Each structure stands twice: as structure tokens, then as C-alpha cells.
Structure 1
Amino acid sequence: MPEIVELLASPIHRFSGRPAAGPAPAPPGELVDVIEVRAGLGVVGDRYFAQPAHRDASVTVISRESLPAGAGLIAVRRNILLAGVPVDDLVGSVLTLDSGDGPVRLQVNRRAHPCAWMEVTVGPGAWKALRGKGGIRCTPLDDGFLRAGPVTVS
């Protein structure tokens, strides 16, 4: 059964400068049990919320199956970690998630390519291993809430 494993809404950019220097510390409350999604704007409280340059990529999703054991959203900086859904195959479609508060539709615009930071935050070889499996960048089409736990996917 598909599941939302983790949710992330980070108000800051932690990956800046050179990856060898390491990321800035995660702020308290970056991983959450529920996120509020706003149509055309993104995840409330996230660094990309309502940013014009990121409207077509304001919500990011990655599959747990793409990550090595133990890696999570803090390492890859995506908003939604899904299990049981091959998200990288969904470019050009609409992904609908319902975790109990009603459906939230996401227009899947393009792949989210990994960056050099993955070598530091996930581990050596991650940048190459995540090419083609780095998740997706989406535009939310609905207002709604998503919660960690079981999710209906369509």
C-alpha cells in the first residue's frame, strides 16, 4: 500500500556554498507530520512557497525506493517522501494524493535532478545513483493537506 513516509517544509536554504563545507543545520520542525499545500503556490512554510521562479516546481516528491536505506528528506531536500509509487515515471501527468483530508492534485512538470550536495548528505556515489531517480517537481493544483501515513494515489 502506498505511504507518505516523511514530509518536509523548510523555511531556509541549507545547501549553499561548497558541498565540502557541509549544509547548514536543519531548523527545528523541518520534518512535519502534515503539510498545507496551496494551489499554484506550494507548501505553506517552505522556502519556495509563493516564489515566482519556483511556481512550476514548488512541491517536490521522491520515492523511498530511490534512496539508500536510512536516507530521508533532510538529505535530499524534497517535500514528500512516498513509498510504493514510482514517481520518476510520472512526468507530464497529474499525481493525486489523498491522505484522508481530500485529494491534492500535483501537476508533474519535470524531474528533480540530484546535485553535488547528494555526495555529502546522502553519501559517496549518491549523485550518480540518483540520476533519473531524483524525484519530481510539481505545481499544486488544489489547496489541501497531506499527512504522513497511508495514502491513496491516483
Structure 2
Amino acid sequence: MPFPFFGDDKSTIARLLATLPQTGRVEWIGLRPKRREPLLSVPEATAETDRRLVGDHAAIKAGGKRQITLFQHEHLATVAGFLGLPAPIDPARLRRNLAISGLNLLALKNRRVRIGNEVILEITGECHPCSRMEEELGPGGYNAMRGHGGLTARIVQGGLIRVGDAVRVAEAEA
């Protein structure tokens, strides 16, 4: 009899993918007021349904799959280690909106998550690094960020996001 998690049954994998009992936490929030300007670190931000975070230059028009970006807070030390920088690095240098801890973000791909009591995001894909990482982090910054760039999301239901808010799979609430 095969071990239950490694059986030949494809439904076992589907069950494992659907199981994510952990709850994460918002550790940091950043807003990009204008293109190529430094990010502002804020204690809270308002997410507009199907648009953006208020005060962030990205996704001003409704629609789109990249209205908000998230990254794994635990990866700040990893990226710093790849570059020989003191860990952890400042989250603003990664040019994303939310730093989330305690939850494997890649496990959220193609799912909906609730942040705090109001906001629901639909995770739409990976947020791959761009050449700006060389400017921000120095030589090798782009490659240090590969696999650690985070995720993009659409804001399905807006509301207030605060540092310290819980992050959990929305389907798990049903």
C-alpha cells in the first residue's frame, strides 16, 4: 500500500494543492507614487476594487492582472545572501507593494486570498524581476531575484490593508 501522500492517485495531488491551512501576515506595505521614484513605506493602504492601491502609480485604469504585487518577506534575507549584502535588505528596494510572511506565496498561485477583513485578491501570476534590480541591488541583482520576485494579483474586493493583517486562502473560508 503506497504512502498516502505519494500514491498513484492524481486526486491526492489535487487534494494537497487545495490544502493550505497556514495563515500569513502582512509585514510591510509600499506605494510607488510615480514611475522610478522611491517607494513609500506605509502602515496601511486602501485597495480599490479592480484598480490599485490608492497612492500607487500602477494600474490606474480598471482591469488588468497586475494591480498589486506581493513578495515573500522571508526572501529578503535570501536575496541579500546571494548578493553578499547585510540581511535583510529593505523591502522597498524590491519595488513591490506587499511583503507577506508565514505563507508560501507560490502555493497561492491561481487562487484567491483574503487580507484582513475586507480585501480579496486573485493571484494572477509570478512577478518576475526586471533590469531595475541591477540598479537597486547592484551587479547580480537581477539574477539574485530570479525565483524570488513574488506574485501579481487583481483586487477582487477592495478595502483597507494594514501591516499585521492576516493573509489566508479565501476558498478555505467557505
- Where on the TM-score scale, by shorter chain, does this alignment land: which range? 0.7 to 0.9
Query: Could you tell me which of 52, 60, 69 is aligned with 1:42?
Result: 52
Deviation, structure 1 residue 122 = 2.7
Query: Could you tell me which of 113, 123, 129 is aligned with 1:95?
Result: 113
Which amino acid in 1 is paired with 2:33? P
1:85 equivalent in structure 2: 103
Matches of 1:49 and 1:145 in 2, distance apart?
A: 17
Contact 2:76 2:91 (8 Å CA) reproduced: no
Deviation, structure 1 residue 109 = 0.6
Matches of 2:162 and 2:47 in 1, distance apart?
A: 11
Task: Determine helix, strand or coil for the equivalent of 1:89.
Answer: helix
1:18 equivalent in structure 2: none
List per-residue Cα deviations over 1:75-114 (Å, max 9, x = no partner).
Answer: 111110111122133221112211xxx1311111110001
Task: Determine helix, strand or coil for the equivalent of 1:149.
Answer: coil
Task: Determine helix, strand or coil for the equivalent of 1:43.
Answer: coil
Q: Is 1:7 the counterpart of 2:16 in the alignment?
A: no
Q: What TM-score comes out, normalization by structure 1 length?
A: 0.79
Q: Is 1:151 the counterpart of 2:166 in the alignment?
A: yes
Question: How many residues are matched?
Answer: 138
**C-alpha RMSD of the superposition:** 2.0
Matches of 1:152 and 1:128 in 2, distance apart?
A: 28
Taking structure 1 as reference, are residues 44 and 97 closer, same or farther at Cα in structure 2, changes over 3 Å only?
same
Percent identity for Structure 1 against Structure 2: 24
Q: What TM-score comes out, normalization by structure 2 length?
A: 0.71
Stretches of structure 2 lacking an aligned partner (at least 5 in a row)? 1-22, 78-86, 170-174
Alignment of 1:61-72 (within 5 A): 61-68=70-77, 69-72=87-90
Give the greater-gyration-radius structure (CA).
Answer: 2
Which amino acid in 2 is paired with 1:113? H
Query: Could you tell me which of 52, 62, 69 is aligned with 1:60?
Result: 69
1:21 equivalent in structure 2: none
Matches of 1:134 and 1:106 in 2, distance apart?
A: 18
